[in-house]
Amino acid sequence: MTTQRDRVDQAIRRAVETALPQINGIDFDAALTSDVGLDSVQVMDLVMEIEDELDISVPVEVLAEVQTLNQLGERLRAMIRGSSR
C-alpha cells in the first residue's frame, strides 16, 4: 500500500529527476538552490510538476518558506491532509 508520504516523495523525486536528469541520487535534506543546484525558474517548474502529479495547488509563499526537499514534502503532506478534511 502506498502511503501519502510515499506518494509525495515519489512526486518530488520524479520532478527533481526531470529538472536535473544528470543527478545521481536525491538527498531530501539538501537545500533546493545551493545543494541541489536549482535556480528559481527550475524550482517553479519542479513545483508545477508536483502540483500536476498530486492534483494540488501550492501557494507561492510556500516556496519562500522551504529550504530543503524534506521541508517541501512536509508542507505538501500538510496541504493534502488539510484539503482532505
pLDDT single digits (tens) 63-84: 889 999 999 999 999 999 886 5
Q: Look at residue 73 and give its three-state secondary structure.
A: helix
- Check residue 22 and give its pLDDT: 82
pTM: predicted TM-score of the whole model, two decimal places: 0.86
CATH 1.10.1200.10 assigned to domain 4-83? The reply is yes
User: Is residue 12 predicted with pLDDT exceeding 90?
Assistant: yes
Residue 68, classed as helix, strand or coil, is strand
DSSP at 63: H
C-alpha cell belonging to residue 77: 503532506
Domain ranges of the chain: 4-83
Maximal C-alpha separation, the chain = 39
